[in-house]
Structure 1
Amino acid sequence: MIDPSPPDETIEARVRRGLGQRSIVLVGLMGAGKSTVGRRLAGRLGMIFMDADHEIEAAAGLTIADIFAIYGETSFRDGEERVIARLLRDGPMVLATGGGAFMRPETRRRIAERGVSVWLKAELDVLMRRVRKRPGRPLLQNEDPEGTMRRLMDVRHPVYGSADLMVLSRDVSHDRVVQDVLEALDTHFADTPSRSVAAQ
């Protein structure tokens, strides 16, 4: 099969062409680097970057921790689902999602329709080292945050495994992880036919 891309086309151009009107949606546990990697990835691709957690806070006028404390996790997840649906309609973009967002079947369906999902997977010690630098995460406000993280890994990893791609978020420079994501996307688009997003 003849490769239709020009021989001097950059990886960024190939990925943008492969995406079409779809968004890149980063999923994974807290501390996986979704926001940091996503912001740099968007810069490489010349795309908008959006952080779903920040958009939820802006819509509610409250921090994530306050939403959890006042309204509870179920209410937060309902709002999160609505915000992600809106952001996906506004694509294409690079979208970083909260750790629990991909657990919702309806959110997974919408991401599959309008995006390419990338699971940033990190080992427990890497996650814990990173989250300790940013205290205040609602799900870790207990006496055994490491045990909580282990349980989250047990429950969420099988679901994250249904993402289109998996990239290891390890202790290297953020730019190296961004490059890994680009290369994974490039390979993915080379192996799968492109498709357009249906207008809704």
Structure 2
Amino acid sequence: MELFLIGMPGSGKSTAAKEIASLMQISFYDTDELIKKKYKMSIPGIFKEFGEKEFRKYEETVLNELIIKDSFIAATGGGLPCFNDNMNKMNDTGITIYLKTSIEILFQRLRKSINRPLLQGKSDSELFDYLQKTIKSREPYYSQANYIIDADKTLNEIIKSEPFNL
């Protein structure tokens, strides 16, 4: 079984994926971590040196390498489903699960984040506006997921949801 967790930064994809991988005894991957390992640079470093367009190419490369593996759960970067036909690739390969999180919860989780290049240097009002705009632009991709889970819930509630039922 190949599972892809998608959603906004701060939705809890990595945290949930690690727990689910442990409970299901399958491999865990984080596409941002795979990018850092493959390209030997931090995500903020890639953005700073090469820009978002190049980063999206790196995401696509890592996804193409990931989808040939078996029995895993992957936490994807927030924008990964929205570029280079990546959402269709994930849906064709396995099961996609959108961790849908309210803007209020995302705002609280992300307002103190320092390692997210698209959020750096934003005031609270700029962050809130960015989240509104980004959710609106990404929702058409995220809504193509096989499952949509309310990620305002606790981790325990999420892992008991379909399709996990753990």
Q: TM-score, normalised by structure 1?
A: 0.77
Please give the alpha-carbon distance, in whole angstroms, between the structure 2 residues aligned to 1:79 and 1:105. 11
Please give the alpha-carbon distance, in whole angstroms, between the structure 2 residues aligned to 1:132 and 1:177. 23
Deviations 1:98-131 (A, max 9, x none): 0000002421222122110000000011111111
Work out whether 1:179 is the aligned partner of 2:157. Answer: no
Asked whether the 8 Å contact 2:8–2:78 carries over to 1, the reply is yes
Please give the alpha-carbon distance, in whole angstroms, between the structure 2 residues aligned to 1:153 and 1:106. 18
Aligned ranges for residues 99-138 of structure 1 at < 5 Å?
99-138=78-117
Corresponding residue SS for 1:185: coil
Please give the alpha-carbon distance, in whole angstroms, between the structure 2 residues aligned to 1:50 and 1:185. 18
Matched residue type, 1:58: K
Give the deviation of 1:53 after TM superposition. Answer: 0.3
Asked whether the 8 Å contact 1:37–1:175 carries over to 2, the reply is no
Corresponding residue SS for 1:120: strand
Q: Which moved more, 1:128-137 or 1:34-43?
A: 128-137
User: Alignment length, in residue pairs?
Assistant: 162
Alpha-carbon distance change, 37 to 186 in structure 1, aligned in 2, over 3 angstroms:
closer
Counterpart of 1:196 in structure 2 is none
Structure 1 residue runs of 5 or longer lacking an equivalent are: 1-18, 188-200
Give the deviation of 1:90 after TM superposition. Answer: 1.4
Counterpart of 1:63 in structure 2 is 42
Counterpart of 1:86 in structure 2 is 65
Deviations 1:126-160 (A, max 9, x none): 11111134323111123411111110011111220
Work out whether 1:147 is the aligned partner of 2:129. Answer: yes
Please give the alpha-carbon distance, in whole angstroms, between the structure 2 residues aligned to 1:40 and 1:104. 27
Please give the alpha-carbon distance, in whole angstroms, between the structure 2 residues aligned to 1:54 and 1:178. 22
Asked whether the 8 Å contact 2:30–2:74 carries over to 1, the reply is yes
Corresponding residue SS for 2:67: helix
Asked whether the 8 Å contact 2:60–2:84 carries over to 1, the reply is no
Alpha-carbon distance change, 43 to 151 in structure 1, aligned in 2, over 3 angstroms:
same
> Please, what is the CA RMSD of the aligned residues?
1.5
- Percentage of pairs with the same residue: 27
Asked whether the 8 Å contact 2:111–2:127 carries over to 1, the reply is no
Corresponding residue SS for 1:89: coil
Asked whether the 8 Å contact 2:44–2:116 carries over to 1, the reply is yes
Please give the alpha-carbon distance, in whole angstroms, between the structure 2 residues aligned to 1:186 and 1:128. 27
By percentage of residues, which structure has more helix?
Answer: 1
Structure 2 residue runs of 5 or longer lacking an equivalent are: none
Please give the alpha-carbon distance, in whole angstroms, between the structure 1 residues aligned to 2:115 and 2:31. 17
Alpha-carbon distance change, 130 to 171 in structure 1, aligned in 2, over 3 angstroms:
farther
Corresponding residue SS for 1:118: strand
Please give the alpha-carbon distance, in whole angstroms, between the structure 2 residues aligned to 1:43 and 1:68. 31
